Amino acid sequence: MADRDLHFDFVCANGQTARGMNSELKFHILDDKKMKRHNFADNGDKWCLFKRVGNPKYGISFDLIIPKENTELAHIAVIDEDFGQHYDYQHILRESPNCIPALRVWIDVEEIMEWLAEIGVVEGHKFGEYI
């Protein structure tokens, strides 16, 4: 990531979905064996991926939920587990570009999104765009 321009505009080129996510993001479900190999949990009607992001002492997680019946309802949330609410690192970085905890979360989320694209679960994500 060091060779990329850092900017914190976090725009959605084509807008957001009704659920507030970047409308460019598309989600795919791999076969069960591959999903499990990539640490997705099978929760019956949906696949779930939970990863810690940022400094572990802050308790921030990246949560991806992909319903099996309708991948268009997939949802990504970055959660502050200490407060049980969304951690809006993108807003924080717009206001305070040098906020180290938010920068660490941003870097980790971008790495997860790149990995998800590599394995074929996510498409349409562009580095630095709004999640």
The reply to whether 104 falls in a domain is: yes
Q: What is the mean pLDDT of residues 110-119?
A: 97
Count up the domains in the chain and report the number.
1
The reply to whether 16 falls in a domain is: no
- The pTM for the full model equals 0.85
% of the chain beyond a pLDDT of 70: 83
Q: DSSP letters along the chain, please?
A: -TTSPP------TT-B-TTSSBTT-EE----HHHHHHTT-EE-SSEEEEEEEES-GGG-EEEEEEEESS-GGG-EEEEEETTTTEE--HHHHHHH-TT-HHHHHHHHHHHHHHHHHHHHTSEES--TTS--
pLDDT greater than 50 at residue 1: no
CA 52 vs. chain centroid, Å, equals 11
The reply to whether 72 falls in a domain is: yes
The reply to whether 93 falls in a domain is: yes
Domain ranges, residue 69:
28-123
% of the chain beyond a pLDDT of 90: 66
The reply to whether 50 falls in a domain is: yes
Q: How far apart are CA 41 and CA 47, in angstroms?
A: 6
The reply to whether 19 falls in a domain is: no
The reply to whether 100 falls in a domain is: yes
Instruction: Tell me the per-residue pLDDT of 57-99, one tens digit each, with 9 for 90 and over.
Output: 889 999 999 999 999 999 999 999 999 999 999 889 989 989 9
116 in Cβ contact with 109 (< 8 Å): no
The reply to whether 130 falls in a domain is: no
Of the listed ranges 13-22, 31-40, 48-57, 105-114, the least confidently predicted one is 13-22
